[in-house]
Structure 1
Amino acid sequence: MPSVEAGATGPLTALSPIGLQFAQKAFIVSGGRLLLVRKSASDPFHPGRWEVPGGRLEVDADLDLDDHIRREVWEEVGLKVDPGPPFHLWQWFMPDRGPAGGQIRVIAAARRCRPVTLDATLENQDASDHLDGCAWVPLDEAAGYDLIPSLRPVMRAFLNRAG
């Protein structure tokens, strides 16, 4: 491969820009049941599929990682949780809807969280969450739900640890 002078365009500069974001997902268990949320028909990426509560870090607003996961769970399902340590890391890519276009690489951590409250509600969610349902699902049935694809290996890891 020919060398490239400093500051000159090289083979990688022709690629679309890739942004980086961090997300956390909460695996909330109570009484042998896991809380799942369903994406609405308006979700641009995974309409009708199931996942666990969570979302991307707000760099200017979240004080620390525990604050971040507490905020996400509160906004999506109205629960207060006690965050546990991460048990799985993974990534996914999504289109960047900003003016630059390109892609966003999302690095995510899954955390088992203990619920402090149990009455889940979707009333706090932001419209961009695109959720239309939530359910406390028996652990032995959780893998049978139509999960978003990137969450499937994480669910297997969670269930292997839970069982």
Structure 2
Amino acid sequence: MNTPVPTTPLARAEHFRDAMALLPAALTIVTTTDDEGRRWGFTASSVVSVSLDPPLLLVAISHSSSCHEAFVSAREFVVNVLDDRHRALARAFARHGVDRFAGQKFARWPGTALPVLADAHAAYRCLRHAVLPAGDHDLLLGALGEVEAGCPGTPLLWFRRTFHTPR
């Protein structure tokens, strides 16, 4: 039996934002390059595994992001998992109107121009599988191409609008 889906929102945007602040999430920096070789990246907490066969993951990107066009048109992207050492980096990649890569430790994924965080907790190279509209965001579905197990550390989490690490 299917339950009807409401046609009006159940919660206002600010209530939804407050509720989601109670859901801990791993912090990542998602990176790509455009056709002209420019590097793009943003801090994301909306990253989840979707499928094992084929291996897919999902990243949400806001329509208002300065990176939006670069990511929805990119053939590949990298999800860099952050750890406790990356708090300043997470802040830098959440800022608007700045060169987010300036002074940061990014290398190139071997054989590509894709930026990868040299000391990431882990990094996932993805091929664009699909881009799906979802409200004021687009969902990037990436087919997992390669994984780099990174430097050991304590994962960096976002919870109640601030950084946390598991104990």
Q: Same-fold call, TM > 0.5?
A: no
More strand by share: 2
More helix by share: 1
TM-score for both structures, normalised by structure 1: 0.26
Larger Rg: 1
TM-score for both structures, normalised by structure 2: 0.26
